[in-house]
Each structure stands twice: as structure tokens, then as C-alpha cells.
Chain A
Amino acid sequence: MSKKPTFKEATPPAATDHAQAPVNARLSPEERIELFRKMVRIRRFEERSLRAYQAKKIGGFLHLYIGQEAVAVGCCSLMGPNDHVITAYRDHGHAIAVGMDTKPLMAELFGKATGCSKGKGGSMHYFDPSRNFWGGHGIVGGQIPLGAGLAYGLKYKGLKGAAMAFMGDGAVNQGAVHEAYNLASLWNLPVVFVIENNGYSMGTSQSRSSAGELAQRAAGYDMQWGQCSGHDVYEVRAMMDKFLTLARETGKPSTVEIDTYRYRGHSVADPDNTYRSKQEIEEYRRTRDPIQLFQVKLLAEGVLTPALAEQIDTEARAEADGAADFSEASPFPTPADIQADVYWEADNPADRRSQGRLFFT
């Protein structure tokens, strides 16, 4: 079963055009290297977390972002102070892309009190409101109305910004997504709905789960939409810049479908042997790896040297190992922590206004 109907195969090398898009042309060499570094850091973090999972340091689900790095990095690199991000459970890439420190991210996977959610949320539920990152959500499609709500908040407060609401190609079939589309368009909410189309929802290819094309559904809600390749970080930035600007300047929502690919199974538990071929995965790795492609570009631009690329990789591996060591050394929460962070009032007893019992046995 091949990935999906081929509406837009990745454009071969001529895609260097996107480097000329103003949003990319004005990038300094340091900024370009930072884009590259972030992608490498995500990949090494993910690989390290996989090893920790295999060593039974991590419970539950682990959905890896390997192969999709250019999407989160490209999108989040465009964020201004009033731009916000929300995504699904495959959230490690976005968390690193918005600038979260990898130590608390890894510690969260280990279920430690030093984790970004104090060990309460796990892999699927990363959050950092201080970086305008609103999760990390486990229910497919459930985060999309929240993304529209972030946009509503921006508009209400008169702030010039946009929300990016990420979802997978499987999530587009949830009713909540369609309700959010309509509300956003009807009310002119500055949100970009981003479909990270990696071709599969668990073991189901796009052609077996979705009628018609995905981004195009936005047209039914009178929304603008676009499609682009997510293997080229410049292309992602060029496309997203257009729609983020539209949102910030006019308040108009849009839907952007970004073609990407995950190399690993849906989660670490997926044997990945029923729905795609090894050749397909290898083909993507060989020809469309976002890190490889960008490395080649930066080398050609003279921005990156092989030595620097090597150094960035070494540092990223060391960072991931350091995050794992930090996590290993950190304490677990205690049973007494189970009932903290449930109610604002219970955690702020001095300011409590309600009366009566909050908890039951």
C-alpha cells in the first residue's frame, strides 16, 4: 500500500527557489545554522529517547518525530512574541522548536518530578506557556478548537499575532476539526491550521482514511489554503510566512498541508509491518531527509562546513545524553503529588473562595 495519492511529489533539487523567498533570503548565516542545529537536536533527542524507552526508562507511548523535523522547525522559527503553537501527541519536535530545554523534556519521558509537566503528562503532554506552547494533546483532533481559541484570545485582546494549530493527516476526519474550521472562518480568527501529512494515521494510509484532498477542505469553509513540501525547511518557511502574515495582518484563518514522512512506526509499539514497505521508508531517507537536504544546501551556500556540521551533531548527541543523565538522576514524584495541580484553588489555599470538599476518597 503506497503512502497516498500523489498530488504533489517532492520537487527535485530545483527547489532551491525557496531560499530566495524574502523570509529566507534575509536569514543571517547564524540563523540558518540555528535552523539546522534545531533539526539535528530534535533527531538526536528522539533517538536518545528511543534508546531510553528500549531500556525501560519510559512508560506508555512514545511517538517519534524523526523525519518530520523541518516542519516544526520551519513553522516555529517564524514565531513572533504574539504567535502561539498547539499540537497533538507527536509533540517533542515542536517543544524543542519553540525553545524548550531538552532536560525537562527528557525528564518528563522518564516520569520525573523535574519533567516539564512534573512527570504528570508524559510524552504526549508537553507544555510551556512561557514559550507560547500550549501542548501536547492526546486525543486526535481535540487540540484544534483550542488553537482557534488561542486565536480568539489574541483577537479579543487586540494583539497582532497568530496561532498555529498542528494536526496529522488522520486528525482531519474528526468533527471537532471541522467545527473549528467553520468558527475560525466565520469569526475571522487568526489561526493557521497546519496538517502535517506524513501519509499515515497509525497503520492507515491517507487513501484509506480520507475522501478527497485534505487542505482543500478548507475551501468549503471559505478559507485560503496551501500545500507544500515539508522536506525543505526553506519551503516550509516560505509557505507558512505567507499564511501567518495573512493571519496577523487580516485576522484570516487558513489551512496549510505540509507533506512529510515519519521514519519510525506510529509509536514505539507499532511493529510497522502491515501498511508500508521498507523500500518506501528507505526511499524517503535517501532522497528526502530534511536534515540531509538542508545540510547539502547550507554547504552549497558556504554557510556550513563539514567540520561545523560534524560539531553540531556531536553537540546534539552530547546534549541528548546529558538530558538522559539528568533525567536518570532526578527524583520521581511522590504519591502525595498525585493530588497537586488538580485545582487552582487547592494549590492556592490562601486565595480560595469556594467552600466544601474538593477531593473524595
Chain B
Amino acid sequence: MPVISYREAIRHALAEELERDSNVVVMGEEVAQFNGAYKVTEGLLARFGPQRIVDTPISEAGFIGVGIGASMLGIRPVMELMFWSFYSVAFDQILNNAANVRYMSGGQIHCPIVIRGPANGGTNVGATHSHTPENVLANHPGVKVVVPSTPADAKGLLKSAIRDNDPVFFLENTMLYGEKGEVPAGEHVVPLGLADVKRAGTDLTIITYGRSVLHSLAAAAVLEREQKISAEVLDLRTIRPLDFDSVLKSVAKTHRVLIVEEQKPFASVGSQLAYMIQREAFDELDGPIHRLATVDAPAIYSPPVEVEQLPNPRRVLQAALETLA
């Protein structure tokens, strides 16, 4: 199987879907002539031309709104936000218009739009550029939220997202763009709403997604090696729809739960999970559910300190030991 980067995996998904469906249009700041702020869309302009790969001015509310309107007529826009952090400029379009129009029209209208871009900390870009809004987005019924951790998942999930008839928000990670992994060439589709056991284990379930999966796998390896503890790492991959059956299955196996998320703790994805697990699997639990999140403050700039604000392998390891204590 070819080994490619997360960035290339996303590019391949875009190119294949552009090829497959003439209604797919890629739009965003610097996606065409500049080849993408993070080079995800590199080469797409040359291959598909300016009708399909469209540079926009810095007008997030405007161009996202344009994408939503076009999607109501059956266009399948894949919008790039240079950073998901800029979603706040387009909040009304995303969460009033895209999220609600199907409902408010009694099901007459749907919005097959994808909005994608990086949402993460760890690159010292400060509080305005480090938001991780998957919880905020997923709070809105009518939308779907995807956070892939590996190149293969990124490709397969993006292809599903583009084919989906609901608005799908696809949260990538600048720290993962260069990560490599095996990715099937050609048609490789991962359905939305299917979690993936990235590492099987018996003593502890670490539920996580996005880049925190990598931290959790690193910590799990240390746990195995140094403590003879077998941790299962369950990658949610999609936040909404949520594969809660896989969560229940893993909890029933290990009886101990640690949630790891690059999220501010208040009303996070982990908060929702913890509620559901205690509600539906209370008797399976041998101890309280633990959660490791971002330290509760706006993102600090200072490079060595930001590492400590975010989940990292050392913090996951410590949290895992506390969960088992």
C-alpha cells in the first residue's frame, strides 16, 4: 500500500472527488494560485482549472455563505478555512444557515457542503488561531463533524464527507499534515460515524480523536513497556454522528475509561461522552471516568509552555495512571 502524508491523503480525496463529480468545487483563501496556505490543494488549480478551484478574498462570512447558497442548488462546495479558528467570522452562516435550513424548510432544502481546514494548537500561533471548535459545531443538530487522525482516515472520511448530503465540518491538524501512513490508492471510503480501535487492550480504554490519538498511542506503548498495562485506544474519528456502540463495547471490555481530547474542558466532546457512558454503562465501570483536556485558558503563545497546555504523551501517561489508581 502506498505510504503518503496526511496532506497528500486529503489532496488525493479532493482530486478524486473533483474527478468523479463535476459539481464539486474547491473554494477558499489561497487555495488556487498560492497552492494552499498549507499546500493541501497544491496542483489542483493546474489540474482542474479556475472554475473548480477558486481563490476567495478574506471574507469568510461572505464566501462560506456563498458556498452554502450554492449547495442548496446542488453544487458540492468544499470550502477551505485557512484555520478553523476563522469560523467565528462566519459563525452565522455556518451555524444558523447551514445547520438550520433543512429543518426550517421542513426538509425541502439540504446543504451538501463540506468546510475543512486545520483546528489545533501546538504551533504557537496564539489564542486567536488555536481554536478546536468540534464541540461547538457538534452542539448543532443538522451538522456532521469529523476529526481524522491518520492519512488513511483523512482520505476515506473526506470522500464520505463530500458525498454526504448534510453539511460536514472536517477538522484537520497542521501538526498532522506531514505525518505519513499507508493509504489505499483510489477508491477508499470510510463511512462517517464509525470509530476505530487503533490499539487493542484490556486494562483501560482511552477514548480520543484527532492528534490526541497519536499522543495516546505513544503513552499506551510506554504503559505496556514499563507498567505491563494494556491500554485500548479508541479513535472516534467522527464526533457527530458518534459511534457510541464501539465506546460501549470497549468499556465493557476494560471497565476503565480515560478520555483524551484537545479541547477546553467545559462542555467538551469528552463531557458528552462521560455523561453517556455513566448513563448507559454505569455498571461496567470500575472507577470514575477520567478526562485529559487542554488546560483551561486561552492558548498561550510561549512555545515550551504551550506543549504543557495541550495533551501530550507525558500528560496522557500520567492521566492513565491516575485513572487506574
Contact = CB atoms under 8 A, between A and B. Distances in A.
Contacts of A360: 264-266, 296
Interface string A121-143: 11011000000000001111110
A204 B34 contact: yes
A35 B43 CA distance: 46
Given A59-B123, A173-B59, A275-B33, A339 B302 contact: no
Name which of A59, A108, A171, A332 has the most chain B CB atoms within 10 A of its CB. Answer: A59
Interface string B115-139: 0000000011111110000000000
B61 interface: yes
A138 B302 contact: no
Given A138-B129, A360-B265, A360-B296, A119 B59 contact: no
9 contacts: A125-B128, A141-B58, A173-B62, A174-B89, A204-B29, A333-B300, A333-B302, A339-B296, A339-B297
A229 to B, nearest CB: 24
Interface of B: 29-30, 33-35, 37, 55, 57-62, 85-86, 88-89, 123-129, 264-266, 291, 293, 295-298, 300-306, 308-309
Label chain B's interface by main secondary structure: loop
A318 interface: no
Interface in A7-54: none
Interface string A267-287: 000000011000000000000
A190 interface: no
Contacts of B34: 202-204, 274-275
A290 interface: no
Nearest to B38: A269
Contacts of B124: 59-60, 111, 122
A203 B302 contact: no
A209 B309 contact: no
Interface of A: 59-61, 108, 111-112, 117, 119-122, 124-125, 137-142, 170-171, 173-176, 201-204, 208-210, 274-275, 332-335, 337-339, 342, 359-361
Contact of B302 (A120, A170, A201): A120
A139 B89 contact: yes
Contacts of A209: 57-58
B57 A111 contact: no
Name which of B61, B88, B127, B301 has the most chain A CB atoms within 10 A of its CB. Answer: B301
Given A119-B302, A332-B302, A338 B308 contact: yes
A112 B124 CA distance: 13
Nearest to A119: B302
Contacts of A137: 128
B35 A359 contact: no
Contacts of A175: 59, 61-62, 89
- Pick the 9 closest A-B CB pairs, nearest first: A59-B124, A122-B301, A111-B302, A203-B34, A138-B128, A60-B124, A119-B302, A59-B303, A173-B57
B30 A203 contact: yes
Given A120-B127, A139-B88, 16 more contacts: A119-B302, A120-B300, A142-B89, A175-B59, A202-B29, A202-B37, A203-B30, A204-B57, A208-B55, A210-B57, A332-B302, A337-B300, A339-B297, A342-B298, A360-B266, A360-B296
Contacts of A342: 297-298
Contact of A338 (B85, B266, B300, B303): B300
Contacts of B59: 173-175
Name which of B33, B35, B58, B298 has the most chain A CB atoms within 10 A of its CB. Answer: B58
Contacts of A139: 85-86, 88-89, 128
B58 A174 contact: yes
Contact of A274 (B35, B296, B305): B35
Nearest to B265: A360
Contacts of A122: 124-126, 301-302
Contact of B58 (A111, A112, A120, A170): A170
B57 A138 contact: no
A142 B127 CA distance: 14
Contacts of B89: 139, 141-142, 174-176
A117 B88 CA distance: 24
Contacts of A61: 125
Contacts of A208: 33, 55
A201 B305 contact: no
A201 B34 CA distance: 11
B309 A204 contact: no
A335 B308 CA distance: 6
Nearest to A339: B297
Contact of B30 (A173, A204, A210): A204
A335 B295 CA distance: 9
Contacts of B301: 59-60, 108, 111, 117, 119-122, 125
Contacts of B308: 335, 338
A333 B304 CA distance: 9
B123 A60 contact: yes
Contacts of B296: 339, 359-361
Contact of B295 (A108, A112, A142, A339): A339
